[in-house]
């Protein structure tokens, strides 16, 4: 049994570290909602909600370096939308550290502090509950990582909210169909840590969605 588990573990490690496999896992999640490019039909929207990711609070480096790359990309996408809809207010929902850093980043990008609202929440589900208290049934634009967006939309919609999905921080990308390219170099097909990281992000989302579904069945 020990040998079987060891072999199975090594096989799982290799397959999760295989770039084409990680792309398949990601594509299922990231292709669900297209990028929000044309904003001409959203002039009536008054709020942009952007969720925090993982950020640090190290005091020995410039504060902007504490902002994780996922939070940075989400912030940049929220800012891009804000530039198109400058009368909107931006609600940053999530961790206290992330909210502070993303707010400072937005101010650095010339967003007035009066247009930024920070909501502290423990997780995505709690963010949905808090945003409902703030916005009620108002429609709003929801910005988060593309891989995280399907779960976020599920939480927000189930709370009776009306989010407009705006994916950011693509790990694979948005394509009409999955293509296994044979024009890549040989290293593309060699297991690597970057592919494992991307697979881990996808698997985390799948497990989180499954847990939410199971807990919903229990309550029913």
Sequence spans of domains, the chain: 22-219
At 196 the three-state DSSP class reads helix
pLDDT band at 9 (very low <50, low <70, confident <90, very high): confident
pTM of the model: 0.89
Closest CA to 123 of 153, 95, 161: 95
- Residues 17-52: tens digit of each pLDDT: 998 899 999 999 999 999 999 998 899 999 999 999
Q: Two tokens at 26?
A: 């990601």
Cβ atoms of 18 and 91 closer than 8 Å: no
Pairing verdict, β 162-168 and 89-94: unpaired
Per-residue pLDDT at 91: 97
Query: Average pLDDT of the chain?
Result: 89
Report the 10 Å Cβ neighbour count for 106.
22
Give the H or E element holding residue 141.
strand 139-145
pLDDT of 189 above 60: yes
Q: Please say whether the structural domain 22-219 has been given the CATH code 1.20.1260.
A: no
pLDDT at residue 220 is higher than 60: no
User: How is 154-188 classified by DSSP, letter by letter?
Assistant: HHHHHTT-EEEEEEES-SS---SS----SSS-GGG
């Amino acid at each position: 049994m020990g040998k079987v588990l060891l072999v199975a573990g090594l096989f799982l490690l290799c397959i999760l570290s295989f770039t084409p496999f990680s792309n398949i896992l990601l594509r299922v999640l990231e292709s669900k909602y297209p990028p929000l490019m044309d904003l001409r039909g959203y002039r009536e929207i008054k709020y942009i909600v952007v969720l925090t990711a993982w950020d640090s609070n190290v005091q020995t480096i410039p504060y902007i370096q504490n902002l994780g790359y996922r939070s940075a990309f989400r912030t940049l996408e929220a800012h891009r939308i804000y530039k198109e809809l400058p009368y909107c207010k931006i609600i940053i929902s999530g961790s206290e550290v992330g909210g502070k850093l993303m707010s400072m980043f937005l101010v650095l990008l010339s967003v007035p502090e009066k247009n930024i609202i920070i909501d502290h929440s423990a997780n995505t589900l709690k963010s949905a509950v808090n945003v409902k208290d703030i916005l009620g049934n108002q429609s709003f634009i929801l910005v988060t990582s593309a891989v995280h967006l399907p779960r976020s939309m599920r939480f927000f919609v189930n709370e009776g909210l009306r989010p407009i999905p705006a994916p950011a921080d693509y790990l694979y990308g948005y394509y009409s169909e999955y293509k296994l390219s044979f024009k890549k170099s040989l290293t593309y097909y060699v297991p690597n840590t970057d592919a494992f990281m991307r697979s881990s992000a996808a698997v985390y989302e799948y497990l989180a969605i499954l847990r939410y579904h199971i807990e919903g069945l229990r309550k029913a």
